[in-house]
Amino acid sequence: EAEVAQSPRYKITEKSQAVAFWCDPISGHATLYWYRQILGQGPELLVQFQDESVVDDSQLPKDRFSAERLKGVDSTLKIQPAELGDSAMYLCASSPGLAETSSYNEQFFGPGTRLTVL
Amino acid sequence: GQNIDQPTEMTATEGAIVQINCTYQTSGFNGLFWYQQHAGEAPTFLSYNVLDGLEEKGRFSSFLSRSKGYSYLLLKELQMKDSASYLCAAGDSNYQLIWGAGTKLIIKP
C-alpha cells in the first residue's frame, strides 16, 4: 500500500541550530502539505505545494522556516535557527491534486517528525 | 472568518455509542472530513461528507447538515482501541482543510 514517507521520526536539537525534515509523498500525488501540530491542537498548515510551486505559505514563518519541492516530488522543510517554541510534531500530507473536477480531496499523512528543541 | 468547533474531551464506556459533534464556518465549502489520531501518531482518514445526510461505514457513521454548518461522527460498539483524538476538518474554497482542535475520546471498561 502506498504511503507518505517522512524522516527523521524524531529529532532533538538545541536552540539556534538548524534542522531539516524530509517528505516523500505518495507517487503521483501533485499536492503536498506541511503541517505543524502542537499537542492538544489541530494541524496548522505551514505550506502547500502544487507540483513544484508554492500555493500557500502565508502561515510559514519565513524569517526562519523554508520549504522546497524542487522536482515536484519529495520535499524538505528547514528551520534555521530553531527556537524553543518550535517543539511540535511536523506532519507531511499529500493528495492527488487540487481536484478541479471533484471536491473530494483526501489528504494522506506520513508518520510525522517529532521535534524537541532544548 | 473560518472556524471549527468541537468538544475538547468526551468519555464513554466500552460497548456503548458516542456522538462527537462539530460545527464549522468556512469561506466556500468542499466537504467535511473526520480523521482519527492516536497519541503520538499521524491522523488517519475516517470519513468524508459533501452532501447532507448520513454516511455509514461499519461501526462509524458521519452526518452532515450544510445548512446548519454541522456534522457529527457516531461511533458504535465502542472498543478500547477507539481511544484517540477525533479531528473534524472542513474543506474550503482553496481545497485546504480547516482543522478543529480535536476531541479526545476516553473509553472506560
Q: What does the DSSP assignment read for A17-42?
A: --EEEEEE--TT--EEEEEEE-TTS-
**Spatial separation of the C-alpha atoms in residues B30 and B53, rounded to whole Å:** 15
Sign of CA dihedral A103, A108, A113, A115: positive
How close are the terminal C-alpha atoms of chain A, in Å? 37
Yes or no, beta carbons of B42 and A91 under 8 Å apart: yes
Report A:63-82 residues touching B (Cβ under 8 A): none
Radius of gyration for the alpha carbons in chain A, expressed in angstroms and rounded: 14
Interface-testing mutation among A87, A107, A113, with chain B (most B C-beta atoms within 10 A): A107
Q: What is the pLDDT of residue B88?
A: 97
**Spatial separation of the C-alpha atoms in residues A90 and B66, rounded to whole Å:** 31
Q: Name the phi and psi angles at B80, rounded to 5.
A: -60, -35
- The HSE-up count of residue B108 (CA atoms within 13 Å, CB side) is 4
Q: What is the mean pLDDT of residues B95-104?
A: 92
Q: What is the pLDDT of residue B2?
A: 82
Q: What does the DSSP assignment read for A50-114?
A: ETTEEEE-TTS-TTTEEEE-TTSS-EEEEESS--GGG-EEEEEEEES---TT-S----EE---EE
Yes or no, beta carbons of A42 and B94 under 8 Å apart: no
Radius of gyration for the alpha carbons in chain B, expressed in angstroms and rounded: 13
Does A42 reach chain B within 8 Å, measured CB to CB?
Answer: yes
Look up residue A113 and give its amino acid.
Answer: T
Interface-testing mutation among B27, B55, B96, with chain A (most A C-beta atoms within 10 A): B96
Q: What is the mean pLDDT of residues A46-59?
A: 94
CA distance B104 to chain A (A): 9
pLDDT at A116 over 90: yes
Q: What is the mean pLDDT of residues B46-59?
A: 94
Nearest neighbour of B99 by CB, restricted to A42, A103, A114:
A42
pLDDT digits (tens, 9 = 90+) for B63-72: 999 999 999 9
Does A110 reach chain B within 8 Å, measured CB to CB?
Answer: yes
More confident residue, A105 or B98: B98
Yes or no, beta carbons of A109 and B4 under 8 Å apart: no
Share of chain B above pLDDT 70, in %: 100
Q: What is the pLDDT of residue A101?
A: 44
